[in-house]
Chain A
Amino acid sequence: DGGITQSPKYLFRKEGQNVTLSCEQNLNHDAMYWYRQDPGQGLRLIYYSQIVNDFQKGDIAEGYSVSREKKESFPLTVTSAQKNPTAFYLCASSFQRGGADTQYFGPGTRLTVL
């Protein structure tokens, strides 16, 4: 089945630790995105990538890092520099075409810092 997978579903981290969230897609989409969702709020963009080996910062990139070594994969690392990392993280992907692209989302990873 085609889709976007994120792992793990739940993740617990101690303060001061880096942690990496996985996002994989088999939709042959060009672009991939990471969003953060806090309770009662909309989604905010962390990073996005239009093509392999290239990515851009979103609105709240501080304390996060990404890589895009393969078209199918866009892992997000939450570093110890992120002051308030407890949140729900959603990965998305889309085709890159001349018109608008629709972003499709994965099931999300809920990160809790202990």
Chain B
Amino acid sequence: AQKVTQAQTEISVVEKEDVTLDCVYETRDTTYYLFWYKQPPSGELVFLIRRNSFDEQNEISGRYSWNFQKSTSSFNFTITASQVVDSAVYFCALKEDPGTASKLTFGTGTRLQVTL
């Protein structure tokens, strides 16, 4: 069965610090997709990134970067020079069975609090 673990329940940092959110997943499939979503206080989940299991290249988008390592089944998310607007709950999710509508398996989320 697929599973996603986000061991960090809550992280507090001061603005401009770098922060890494951990995500570890379990799956028996060789083909799968990993996602990160951001949930600000308003509640809506905002899509951040999708990676497939065949592409282990790290990705950078502005202050955001993602490190995908199949050897450790991890897909970690780093925010560089954090800002107050980054305060939110961040979810990592796993999707098996590509090509069909199926569920996303979510981790329990990491609440990030960025203070001045």
B62 interfacial by beta-carbon distance below 8 Å: no
A41 to B104, CA, bound (A): 14
| CB-defined contacts of A44 to chain B, threshold 8 Å | 106
A103 interfacial by beta-carbon distance below 8 Å: yes
Decide if B101 touches A59 in the complex (CB within 8 Å): no
| CB-defined contacts of B37 to chain A, threshold 8 Å | 105
A94 to B109, CA, bound (A): 22
A33-46 CB mask vs B (1 if < 8 Å, else 0) is 10000001111110
Main secondary structure on B side of the interface with A: loop
| CB-defined contacts of A98 to chain B, threshold 8 Å | 99
In the complex, which residues 65-113 of chain B have their Cβ closer than 8 Å to any Cβ of chain A? 91, 93, 95, 98-104, 106-109
Distance in angstroms from B72 CB to nearest chain A CB is 21
A101 to B100, CA, bound (A): 8
| CB-defined contacts of A106 to chain B, threshold 8 Å | 44
| CB-defined contacts of A92 to chain B, threshold 8 Å | 45
| CB-defined contacts of A103 to chain B, threshold 8 Å | 47, 104
A48 to B102, CA, bound (A): 8
In the complex, which residues 58-114 of chain A have their Cβ closer than 8 Å to any Cβ of chain B? 58-59, 88, 90, 92, 94, 96-108, 110
Decide if B107 touches A42 in the complex (CB within 8 Å): yes
B50 interfacial by beta-carbon distance below 8 Å: yes
In the complex, which residues 25-57 of chain A have their Cβ closer than 8 Å to any Cβ of chain B? 30-31, 33, 40-45, 48-50
Closest 9 A/B residue pairs (Cβ): A42-B106, A31-B101, A105-B45, A45-B103, A50-B101, A100-B98, A100-B33, A108-B43, A107-B44
